[in-house]
Amino acid sequence: MNTLKYKGYIGSVAYSEPDKVFFGKIEGIDGLVNYEGESVSELTNAFHEAVEDYLAFCEGEGVKPEKSYSGSFNVRISPDTHRSIARLASEAGVSINSFVKDALAKAVEKPFIGTSALVDGYCAPARPAASLRESSPLDGENAKLVLDIPSCEIPFAKQLFARLGWKVE
């Protein structure tokens, strides 16, 4: 989905072919604020103006401009994923709720690297921790090491390699 960003707010972007106009709304607020324009430039300016008007309205009314959230939501996942989460949570000695909260907090803090990365300490590698293959001795000083590392261990490996002064490609 295409979006616009201004002053910490996100705006959606859509196009109506019959009307030949771009349009959108400010996302993540309790109200409904729309904007439109016949070009990307007009749409961007309309979005900025909509945000400014919304902020002025909120200040005038004494209301918080941020959307209120309850802190609770439902997520539909496959039974296999549910089973895997339950197993990993049990192995980590935490509840499923705590496991998922930690995983989501980590994802927001630092997006995942790789598809099997969950939360530091909660990843169960699907293959051996690492295998080492040396490059050809003909490479001389530019020799390379190729490591196969489970994606959940990549952040740790990158930190280690940086401390060793190794270049990571």
Cα–Cα distance measured from residue 29 to residue 68, given in angstroms and rounded to the nearest whole number: 8
Question: Has residue 2 got a pLDDT over 80?
Answer: yes
Q: Does residue 157 contact residue 144 with C-beta atoms inside 8 Å?
A: no
Domain residue ranges in the chain:
3-61, 131-164
CA-based R_g, the chain, Å: 24
Calculate the average pLDDT of the chain: 79
User: Cα dist. 46→21, 43, 53, 57, 83 in Å?
Assistant: 12, 5, 10, 16, 47
The 10s digit of each residue's pLDDT in 115-130 is 444 444 444 444 444 4
Higher pLDDT, 89 or 120: 89
The 10s digit of each residue's pLDDT in 22-80 is 999 999 998 899 999 999 999 999 999 999 999 999 999 999 898 888 888 888 988 99
Q: What pLDDT does 113 receive?
A: 46
Highest mean pLDDT among 24-28, 81-85, 157-161: 24-28
Q: What pLDDT does 39 receive?
A: 93
Distant-in-sequence, close-in-space partners of 115: CB < 8 Å, separation ≥ 6: 151
Q: What pLDDT does 162 receive?
A: 76
Range list of β-strands (E), the chain:
3-6, 9-12, 14-16, 21-27, 34-37, 131-134, 145-148
